[in-house]
Amino acid sequence: MPDLRAIAIRAIPAFYSFGLAAIVFGPLFRPGYLLYHDAVSTPRSFLTDSALGLGDAAPRAVPQDAIVAVASTVLDGGLVVKAILFASLWLAGWGAAVLAKSLLDASTGPQVVAATIAIWNPFVAERLLQGHWSLLAGYAALPWVVHAALKGSWPGLAVCFAVAGLTPTGAVLAVLTAVAVVRGRHLIGVGLLAVAASAPWLIAAAMSEGGSSSDPAGVAAFAARAEPWLGTTGSLAGLGGIWNANAVPTSRTSVYALVGTVLLLVVVAAGLPGLLKRRDRVIYALALLAVVAIAFGAVAATSWGIDAGEWVVVHVPGSGLFRDTQKWVALAMPLYALAGASAARESFRSLWTPKRLTSVVAAGLVLIATPDLVWGVAGALKPVHYPPSWERVAAEVGEGDVAVLPGGMFRSFPYTGKALVLDPAPRMLRSDVLQTGELIVAGGVVKGEGDRAARVEKTLLDGGPPSDLAELGVAWVLVEHTTPGPLGSAGKTLAQLELTYDDAELTLYKVPGDVAASAKPRALAIAAHVLWAMLLAGGLLGLVVRRRRATADQA
């Protein structure tokens, strides 16, 4: 007969992680859609060329956009995105607890500390505020990658790589973590899994119109940022320092940034001696990975680091992926989580009694370090509700690409509050919506990779003839009325178009005449996405088979 008490105790870290994730997720449990900074979810999205990474801009949201598009044919797209985000928060904590158990043989209390560090830290807060929900999926996969590598579980690694591979950055994070902990011939297997997980964006990058080089201005714009009283290195060591000052929780904008960083690092530092004295190769590898990730971000933010980065993004294809240097501190999370567990097991026991309170003290310090993560980062993340106009316009749009006014990629609608958000049109409409990829950041403008969307926008703002739009493959023009932005002389062009829908929110025009075809070969891109899906499905199936065999052996 199973020992129910032992089973319940083993389940505590999973339930704790679930509860802590729920506290962070908070207001997003309510109905509505995540539309905040870079995060965009819609009731339904479509498998457009852009969703496959074949649009004008670099394929940064591949395969996430295609996966959500397919899933939204049977489930509400907003629910899909929120489910992935919540699962990422939960699994980050649970994975850290599992890793502490497998590598340190940690008991329940230290596992809880590890889970707390993985979920409750400035990196998670800042990436939530930036809207990087799919990057957090890659972040969550990291402790599971280490655990699967330690157990020799290729099905587990396959699932981790597929989940992390929702974005190019997540795939690279998983690969770097795996390479750090596996040995010898196993690196070949890691390489094969990495290619399968990365196939969607690798193929898209090779086929995309966007080109392979990035605007060098993005290197300085996306460099890690020093938070108050910390400097760049201190901010990164505290898992903070995102480039966007508008994506920072309030506690990181004052002297409390120093207080919170000290509290987190006290817990981590208290556990490091116990970790390192184990002389475990995997622990050493994770420590080196953490140091390199923090040092890379700090060096890249120096003047000569920026100069070097600018040269690299111009001359090395695909290197624009690395220009947001703060995101790589995610690689430090597995070590930090293990150090927290070690602190609760060993170091704190010599400082506090009774013994059972050591984990409570360690977890409490971590929670206090970033107090405003609670409830959607102090209520910043709230679900929004789209006006009915969007659904009506989506039903009207047919074949041919769509241009959007006002110019620019970011919007500020009455229903989104004060935050600038990415235009939801590309994910709301069944046809490709042309976007320049141009980003307005502190200190200037970072140009996108392609030029067709920029030419279309210039044609509209200059009041060019509809024939110019048609030659550029534009069949529709959508005007979004409730957001500020440049309109230029677009009225001259709009007056010559066919009005198909109009209300106070949106107006849709049809471009008359023959429109140049802009369809791209999709078979190879779709095949790459199928390979990614097979990696995920095959890994899950392998885990089920492995579990059944283990159960049969125990019987």
Transcribe 344-403 into DSSP letters. Answer: HHTGGGGTSSSTTHHHHHHHHHHHHHSGGGHHHHHHT---B---HHHHHHHHH--SSEEE
How does DSSP assign 241-302, residue by residue?
--S-GGGS-GGGSSTHHHHHHHHHHHHHHHHHHHHHTT--HHHHHHHHHHHHHHHHHHHHTS
Q: In this structure, are strands 410-411 and 421-422 parallel, antiparallel, or unpaired?
A: antiparallel
Residue with the two structure tokens 């885990």: 543
Q: What pLDDT, on the 0 to 100 scale, is given for residue 355?
A: 58
**How many C-beta atoms lie closer than 10 Å to residue 32's C-beta?**
17
Residue 473 sits at φ, ψ, to 5 deg, of 85, 15
User: Higher confidence at residue 103 or residue 57?
Assistant: 103
Backbone phi, then psi, for 228, in 5-degree steps?
A: -50, 130
Return mean pLDDT, the chain: 93
Q: Which of 277, 282, 239, 36 is nearest to 151 (CA)?
A: 282
Q: Are the CB atoms for 139 and 88 separated by under 8 Å?
A: yes
CB 106 within 8 A of CB 115: no
Over the stretch 419-439, which tens digit does the pLDDT of each residue have? 889 999 999 999 999 988 777
User: How, if at all, do strands 35-36 and 439-441 pair?
Assistant: unpaired
35-36 and 39-40 beta bridge pairing: antiparallel
Inform me whether the pLDDT recorded for 352 exceeds 60.
no
Confidence class for position 59, pLDDT limits 50, 70, 90:
confident
For residue 525, pLDDT over 90 is answered with: yes
Closest among 196, 34, 65 to 539, alpha carbons compared: 196
pLDDT at residue 143 above 80?
A: yes
pLDDT attached to residue 443: 56
Mean pLDDT of 305-314: 93
Check if the beta carbon of residue 73 is closer than 8 Å to that of residue 67.
no
**What CA–CA distance (Å, rounded) separates 265 from 281?**
23
Confidence of residue 353 (pLDDT cuts 50, 70, 90): very low
Which amino acid, residue 379?
G
Identify whether the C-beta of residue 75 lies closer than 8 Å to the C-beta of residue 124.
no
As a whole number of angstroms, the distance between CA 297 and CA 233 comes to 8
- pLDDT, tens digit (0-9, with 9 covering 90-100), for 148-207: 999 999 999 999 999 999 999 999 999 999 999 998 889 999 999 999 999 999 999 888
Mean pLDDT for 415-419 is: 87
Question: Whose structure tokens read 């319940």?
Answer: 8
Query: Domain segments of the chain: what residues?
Result: 4-379, 388-510
At which residue do the structure tokens 């290619």 appear?
195
Cα separation, 62 vs 198, in Å, equals 9
* Cα–Cα distance measured from residue 460 to residue 470, given in angstroms and rounded to the nearest whole number: 12
**Three-state DSSP state, 159:** helix
The answer to which of 258-267, 391-400, 486-495, 514-523 has the lowest mean pLDDT is 514-523
- pLDDT of res. 327: 97
DSSP single-letter state for residue 33: B
Residue 217 has pLDDT above 80, yes or no: yes
The answer to whether residues 433 and 420 touch, using CB atoms and an 8 Å cutoff, is: no
Q: Encoding tokens for residue 431?
A: 């046809």
